[in-house]
Structures are given as C-alpha cells and as structure tokens.
Amino acid sequence: MPLIDSFERTIDYLRVSVTDRCNFRCIYCMPEEGAPVAPAGDLLTNAELIRILKIAAELGMRKFRLTGGEPLIRKDIVSVVANIASLAGVDEISLTTNGYLLPELALPLAQAGLTRINISLDTLRPDRFKRIARRGRLDTVLQGIKAATDAGLCPVKINCVVMKGYNDDEVLDFAALSLDQSLDVRFIELMPINWSAGDDSIRDYSIPALAPGSSRNSVQLYANTELATFRQSFVHTADDKILGQLDASQMRRAFVSTSAIQECIEARYGALERAEVKVNGPARSYKIANAPGTLSFISQITNDMCVNCNRLRLTADGFLRPCLMADGEVDLRSPIRSGASDADIADLFRITVLHKPAEHRLEDGLAPIGRNMSQLGG
Ligand code: SAM
Ligand code: SF4
C-alpha cells in the first residue's frame, strides 16, 4: 500500500540528509563560521539509515536523493549508496553535491549504484567563487562535473541559485553551458530558509492546532500519538542570531524570479523550446534551439509546485519532515535507539505523511526557521 497523503498525493520520494556538516560556506546557506551541527552521536549511523530506508522502500518509496550538508564528506558515503542499491524496490538513487570531492568519488559512487547527480554551482568566475562558496576551488568543481559525466551519471544537472548583485549577470554564461554539453542547467530561486534569522517580525512563529471540526488546511493538520509528537516549531532566541549568512532583508533584495531569468535568456536566444528531462521533479524544462543540453527552472517561490509534491525529508539526525518550507518533524532516531519495531517506524512514516501540508505558507509569512538548509537537506 503506497503512502498517500491527505490531499491524495502519492509519496514515493525521500530526500535523505546524510550529514549536516559541510566543507563550503555558501552565503545563502550558512554563516562563515559554519551552521550549528548536531553532536556526532546524534547522526544516524549507516545501519540506522539503511534500516529506515528499507522500511521506506517497503512503504512504496522508490526514489532516494542523498543530500546534506555536503554528502560527500561523509566517510562511508560509497557504502551508504551501495547499501541503498541493495534494497528491494528502489528505482533511483541520486545525490546533490557541491562537487568538490567528485573528482575522486564520481566513479566509485556510480559503481556503487548511484544513478543521478546534481552539482551545485553558482558562478563560473574563480574570484566570485571565493565570495559565494567561500571555500573550495572552482576548477576542482569543474573537474568534478567532468568526472560525473565520464562516470555516466547523465544527465548531470547543475544547480545555480540566482542572486541579484551576486551572480545574476552570469545567467547567460550558465545558459551557454547547455550549448556545448548535454548538461541540464537548473536555475533555482533563492528560498527563504531561515529568512527569519535576524528578522524580528516573524520570529515568534507558531502553528495553531486545528479546532475540532475545522477543515484540514496546510500545516495545521495535527496528530500526536503515544509514539510520536509532531515537533511544530523552534523559536529563535537572540543567541541564535546567524552571522555571515545573507540575512532576511539581504535575501529578499537578492531574490530573482525564474520568469526574470527566463526573459533574460530569451532576449538573447529567442523563445525557448519545451524539453523533457528524465526524472525532473518539480522543474520546468526548456532548451535553446538545437542545443544538446537543457535549461530548467525551479520556482519554489513564484510558482506553486506543492500540488505535485511527492516527497518527505529525513534529517541527518533522524527526524522525518513532511515539508521543506514549514517547520514540523517527527523523531525517528529516539524510537530506533530505544527498540522500536519496523512496524512502529512504518507508523511514524504514516503519521508524518498525515502532516504533509497542502502547500507552503510563505505568502502568509510562515517561513521555516528551525533549521538551516544544510540541516534540512536541501
Ligand atoms: N551541499 C550540497 C550542495 O550544495 O549541493 C547539498 C546540500 S545543499 C543544502 C542543496 C541545494 O540547496 C544546493 O543546490 C544549494 O544551492 C541549495 N540551497 C541552499 N540554500 C538555499 C536557499 N536559501 N535558496 C535556494 N537554494 C538553496
Ligand atoms: Fe554546503 Fe551545500 Fe550549503 Fe553550500 S549549499 S554551504 S555546499 S550545504
């Protein structure tokens, strides 16, 4: 019996954060000194992770995407991929990475059973790379893209978060990558994860429980059981102030809509043709006439993609989340470590699916504040 949520969406895709640590410090994702991380002992072990994913596969989840933090800094990442590949019922194992460790890991990952890869890259200019990613080297990431292509992880997808004043003048350079390689270049809208850090106006965010008899709606669906409490929100205190990461107002000013990006590309190359990209999730895909590669647009903010949302997220410290854009999560780690059966864990998946909101509520000021993107598994 597949997992079906309250809005009749089939949930068959799990995004799995395998670590909350990272070797980069992208300005929109974490502060210069790094985001707070969970104690090492709180991170799921390889065996715990595989047990959870086996239960997920038995519940009908067919696609797993490994993310983080930076998934490739997890020492046993190749073995994690191999273990997932050995599970019955898994159709796809993909991974999102900053690409820095791909030159050495692309081939072993492909051999272990990885099927697809997304590589994040926000600039093609070395000096800017230092300002945006703040660690690593552009040429190593470019070698990583080549290594992934050579290892057959095709089509390699490039994730570019477009930011006004930081890299919006490189949109055409990124689009041009699709002219000579069969890459899928994906333009992503800057998302308000942790926009509230430093923004007092929405710091006291909380979600009211539904009154009996109310119609179910968005993040308000509420269900506590003896087994699990749905953790609703985390309230930031002054001590949590995040420094060195774009703050709320800087993020709002840097936001560029995908329609503006598309217009910029079409002004240079003419109307884009619709394209099909294998396993494209929420992206809308196009191509420049006769180009081998494609261009995709991910508009979490300006285009409502929630209606087709088919995913849950598992954090590196073992919490299952129904939605990236709304706080709220179910603890799997504590039950796992205190002897819960597979049937109990399967129930926790069902409870989480019941909490899946119809859509995000960003327009009402309800942005997630509890965890950074690196802690959520973007
Ligand atoms: N470290 C890996 C990477 O960078 O690809 C995986 C984790 S990262 C959190 C996953 C994706 O989230 C990256 O493509 C990154 O650009 C994107 N991301 C992080 N913070 C974001 C934000 N505030 N808005 C939009 N995308 C964001
Ligand atoms: Fe690290 Fe990825 Fe966040 Fe950049 S976007 S800081 S690479 S987790």
Cβ–ligand 1 distance for 159 under 6 Å, the answer yes
Closest CA to 117 of 50, 184, 165: 184
C-alpha–C-alpha distance, residues 5 and 25, integer Å? 35
- pLDDT one-digit tens code per residue, 152-208: 999 899 999 999 999 999 999 999 999 999 999 999 999 866 544 443 332 222 333
What secondary structure does DSSP assign to 83-123, as a single string?
HHHTSTT--EEEEEE-STTHHHHHHHHHHHT--EEEEE---
191 alpha carbon – ligand 1 mean position (Å): 9
Give the CA count within 13 Å in the CB-facing half-sphere of 367: 23
DSSP-derived secondary structure letter, 210: P
Confidence band, pLDDT 50/70/90 cuts, at residue 220: very low
As to burial, measured by CB atoms within 10 angstroms (0-12 exposed, 13-18 middle, 19+ buried), residue 377 is buried
331 alpha carbon – ligand 2 mean position (Å): 24
Choose one of 174, 188, 362, 369 to mutate for the ligand 1 pocket test, by most ligand atoms within 8 angstroms of C-beta. Answer: 188
Q: Report which protein residue has its CA nearest ligand 2's atom 4.
A: 26
- pLDDT confidence of residue 237: 36
* 290 touches 325 (CB < 8 A): no
Whether the pLDDT of residue 267 is over 90: the answer is: yes
Q: Which distant-in-sequence residues (6+ apart) come within 8 Å of 328 by Cβ? A: 207, 219, 230, 231, 232, 233, 321, 322, 355
- pLDDT one-digit tens code per residue, 81-107: 999 999 999 999 999 999 999 999 999
- pLDDT confidence of residue 30: 86
Give the CA count within 13 Å in the CB-facing half-sphere of 101: 17
- pLDDT confidence of residue 366: 58
